[in-house]
Chains A and B, each alone.
Chain A
Amino acid sequence: MSAPDVELGASAEPRRGGFALAGDLVGVDRARLRRPAVILALLLFALLILPALLSTFWVQILTSVAIYSIVTLSLSLLMGRVGLVSLCQIALLAVGGWVALRLGFGFGPALPFPLLLLVTALVTAVIGTLIGLPALRLSGLYLALITLMAAAAISQILQAVNFPNGGPGFLGYSPSAAGSVAAAVQRPALLASDTAYFRAVVVVAGLMFLVAVLHVRSKAGRAWAAIRQSEPAAIAAGVNVTLYKLWAFALASFMTGVAGCLLAASAGGLTTYAFPAQDSITILAVVLMGGIYNFWGAIVAGVLLKLMPELLKSWGLPPDVLTILFGIGVLQAMLTAPQGLAVQVPKDLAALGRALSRRTRPAP
């Protein structure tokens, strides 16, 4: 078995060496430019080409993929960067949607859409922080438990109060209007078409990813990394652990609030059965499968969560199979592959490629 390995190494070595001479000078710049170029190309593809290729139905599905990748981003930020596990992100998404609808069906004059987005996000951030606050001083297990309870509680409350649809009072739900008025936020005229709205959502999602990346590269990101590695060490190094945990939780809730507002304005509006309590567990699964140490994972997670079930349905397969796969994915992520699919699949493919090339090569 060792002979092919040596041969493989020997054949690979000169090639790498050959590149190194020319690459050392140019390579730095090239590597630094490659990632923004890839991101820009993907963004342009999503904004310009994708909507032209797909029917309205799939554009709507992709809109929800983009919206949910903001939520998966918030969770991946919490888990991958700070080491906090929140099980109430879907519930917070519903809270964001509720707040947006409440403001949208308005007391007084309607807010312009960008302002509505901001106010919703801020209110959701406050609510999320209040949920996390008691547990943030304790260990991560308690935060996970309290957020799981919050998820179940919020989903029960939503069943009782429903989403505002222009009814009277603070709750703003009128059962008689439920059939005729969708609980949806009025979009501005510029974004009236589904394609235009998809583009707007992609841009907002891009901004959220930018906010996350900037945070990770700033002082906050370094503090989070210290907390994730070892909380006692972070305290000893003078990091205000509670403050930065709270900041992370508030930021994640803020992002989820943005997603909630976007969801409230998407086609068809909101229904209570779109936010079952178990989705807060499912989203954890897809984020783990996508990978938490890398923001690409959040996009993979959004695709797994919102595109895969629709694809399965269109192929005539039961989407419940996906839930089972997600469960296996969680176990696998915990046991073997903490980096997730976004890193693991390229690795596995490379390993598979090596194995195949080894097998097809005639034995010496």
Chain B
Amino acid sequence: MPDLRPYLVLGLALGGVFALSGVGLVVLFRATGVLNLAYGAVGATGALIAWSLINVVGTPEWAGYLVTIVFGGVVTLAYGVLVGPPLADRDPLVKAVASLGLTLILLGVMSWAWSYQAHSLVLPTTRWAFALGGVRVNGTQLLGLGLGIIVTVATALFLERTKLGVAMRSLANHRETTAMLGVPVRRVEAAAWLGSGLLAGATGLLLSTLVGLDIVGLTFLVIAALSAALIGRLDSLWTTMLAALVIGIVQSCVTAFPPVSPYRTLTPFIFAILALLWFGFGRRGLRRA
């Protein structure tokens, strides 16, 4: 039996970041009915821009990281403002497929501008590390887990307590009625797009440090977050966070066992399949979509 503690630390960090992106996906889906499959690609593009700014242009590191997060927000907001309203009445499937269009555009731009070779981006927090119970824990790992939990809690409170949050929740229930009640629907949706986009940028930054800055890899890491969001029925933030943490830990711990280690990326898929079987054949139905 190998020592699982280092894998547990990495798993918690990964799970935290998955939770971060899962929450971003769920909030946007609840407010606009859009499952943004371009989430990973937006983060990856932002991280690559930061890489270029820091290593080629020579801007200070913090400016590069800021640009990543802002880029995530701006691109996602622009997409939401341009494509969101015309598709507002369509099926969630159509909205999700449209976001694959953005994914392809970003993938094309990335492979054109940065080609498929691996780059690397290391957040300054990684250099700061301490020992915890005989395991080295670095700052980025702590940041991943911490941010995941903090953002989940903050978002849950935001949706529960603030006026904008209540508007988003009522949008989730019925767009037309919400509009009739005088809620500025487009502005509320834009806020959801922006928030979700900022999270996408932060996710890209953290994942490129934790996992590696690889175009296709980062784009498809959204799948782990999707799986968590799906287990949360695209609705519950808490279930999404817990599922994300479990997926992160399992996926990381599997790495310790060489015979099954190449298949570790199956973890989100297996969890999602099990969840769907449970939803599909269990008694409790799905709320939306």
Contact = CB atoms under 8 A, between A and B. Distances in A.
Interface of A: 85, 134-135, 137-142, 144-146, 148-150, 152-153, 156-157, 159-160, 276-278, 281-282, 284-285, 288, 318, 320-331, 334-335
Contacts of A334: 83, 87, 90, 94, 97-98, 101
A277 B216 contact: yes
Contact of A156 (B86, B230, B263): B263
B103 interface: yes
Interface of B: 35, 37, 83, 86-87, 90-94, 96-98, 100-109, 111-112, 216, 219-220, 223, 226-227, 230, 262-263, 265-266, 268-269, 272-273, 276-277, 279-281, 286, 289
Nearest to A288: B97
Given A134-B276, A153-B269, A335-B87, 10 more contacts: A85-B97, A142-B230, A144-B96, A149-B272, A156-B262, A157-B266, A160-B262, A277-B220, A324-B109, A325-B108
A139 B83 CA distance: 23
Contacts of A159: 262
Contacts of A282: 104
A156 B265 contact: yes
Given A152-B223, A320-B111, A144 B93 contact: yes
Nearest to A333: B101
A127 to B, nearest CB: 13
Question: Which of A145, A156, A318 gathers most chain B CB within 10 Å?
Answer: A145
A60 to B, nearest CB: 24
Contacts of A328: 101, 105
Given A277-B220, A323-B108, A152 B269 contact: yes
Contact of B105 (A137, A284, A324): A324
B40 to A, nearest CB: 11
A184 to B, nearest CB: 24
A196 B123 CA distance: 57
A335 B100 contact: no
A285 B263 contact: no
B59 to A, nearest CB: 26
Question: Which of A285, A321, A327 gathers most chain B CB within 10 Å?
Answer: A327
Contacts of B216: 276-278
A157 B227 CA distance: 18
A139 B107 CA distance: 28
10 interchain residue pairs of minimum CB distance: A323-B108, A327-B104, A330-B101, A327-B105, A160-B262, A324-B108, A320-B112, A331-B101, A334-B98, A134-B276
A328 B103 CA distance: 10
- Majority secondary structure of chain B interface residues (helix, strand, loop or mixed): helix
Nearest to A138: B280
Given A145-B272, A149-B227, A328-B105, A138 B286 contact: yes
A357 B127 CA distance: 69
Given A85-B93, A334-B98, A324 B272 contact: no
B34 to A, nearest CB: 11
A285 B37 contact: no
A67 B37 CA distance: 28
Contacts of A139: 92-93, 286, 289
8 contacts: A138-B280, A142-B230, A145-B35, A150-B269, A153-B265, A323-B107, A330-B101, A334-B98
A273 to B, nearest CB: 10
A148 B279 CA distance: 19
A327 to B, nearest CB: 3
Contacts of A137: 280-281
Contacts of B276: 134-135, 138, 142, 146
A228 to B, nearest CB: 11
A333 to B, nearest CB: 8
Contacts of B102: 327, 331
Contacts of A134: 273, 276-277, 280
A159 B216 CA distance: 14
Given A145-B226, A281-B103, A335 B112 contact: no
Nearest to A159: B262
Given A323-B111, A327-B104, A141 B37 contact: no
A141 B101 contact: no
Question: Which of A276, A281, A284 gathers most chain B CB within 10 Å?
Answer: A281
B100 A330 contact: yes
Question: Which of A153, A276, A277, A326 gathers most chain B CB within 10 Å?
Answer: A153
A149 B101 contact: no
Contacts of B83: 331, 334-335
A335 B86 contact: yes
B98 A148 contact: no
A320 B263 CA distance: 29
A160 B112 contact: no
Contacts of B265: 152-153, 156
Contacts of A144: 93, 96-97
A119 B65 CA distance: 53
Nearest to A156: B265
Contacts of A152: 220, 223, 265, 269
Given A156-B263, A156-B266, A142 B104 contact: no
Contacts of A320: 108-109, 111-112
Contacts of B266: 153, 156-157
